[in-house]
Structure 1
Amino acid sequence: MIAELLSVRGVRHAALVSADGQVVAKAGLGDEQTAAELTLVAAGRAVIGSLQSNLKSAGWQELLLDVEGGPVLLTPHGDQILLTAFDEVSSLGRVRFAVRRLLGNA
């Protein structure tokens, strides 16, 4: 399922991470990259939790992190988070569309 995202121009890798921080599925990621991406997901969860608490909001749609290695899109999927790393912010629209299609939200 996740490997489909690699066919989208600009997508470098993707991972589906469970609520307890375990990788459920991944595509295009080596073991060293996986550890780094799990750190990003954990940080993203902390930011999202803080924002939800401060804004008194129960849900969220997505979080874009523009980090040194390139942009990373975090998208909720039930209690899991789909991480999609891609080449540049200008590809965001194409990546968002592909993620929504994959997750059945298009």
Structure 2
Amino acid sequence: MREALEALKATQGVRVAALLSEDGFVVEEVREEDTPEPGLLSARAATVLGTAKALGQTLGQEGLEEVMVEYPEGALLLVPLPGHHLLLLLDGVRSLGRVRLALKRWLPQIAEALT
């Protein structure tokens, strides 16, 4: 698990990579020193994912692949996993393509480690 988070964090543009429990507790994290602690973000991130899932159900959509929130100085990417979710804090949306490619490589290993 740690290896996958470190690899995701090493992707250009990723400032924080954290695995969070479904109820918002930090399981594992890798981050730059000057970034917010995932523990401060985790409960709110769980709420965002729950809201996004409920919105999808209202729209007749099954499942949720990811939620991306863009801010003037960065972006937050949330990816649901079995009983958990992955939180990635990016330096901006210009890094999103690289990050999504890294996710395609590492998400299967993370999901497998969680089962």
TM superposition score normalised by structure 1: 0.82
The partner residue of 1:93 within 81, 94, 97 is 97
User: Deviation at 1:77?
Assistant: 1.7
CA contact (8 A) 2:23 2:46 kept: no
Instruction: Say which SS state the counterpart of residue 61 (structure 1) adopts.
Output: coil
Match of 1:19? Answer: 22
How many residues get paired?
105
Give the alignment's Cα RMSD to 1 decimal: 2.3
Secondary structure of 1:90's aligned partner: helix
- 1:34 equivalenced with 2:38 (yes/no): yes
User: Could you say what secondary structure the match of 1:104 adopts?
Assistant: helix
Q: Does the CA-based 8 Å contact 2:24-2:44 persist in structure 1?
A: no
Any residues of structure 2 matched to 1:71-86 within 5 Å, and which?
71-86=75-90
Change (3 A) 1:69 1:44: farther
Whole-Å Cα distance in 2 between the matches of residues 87 and 50 of structure 1? Answer: 28
2:22/2:46 contact within 8 Å kept: no
Structure 2 unaligned residues grouped into runs of 5+: 110-115
- For structure 1, the residue ranges without an aligned partner over 5 or more in a row are none
Bigger CA drift: 16-25 or 34-43? 34-43
**How does the TM-score come out when normalised to structure 2?**
0.77
Alpha-carbon distance between aligned partners in 2 of 1:90 and 1:51, rounded to the nearest angstrom: 26
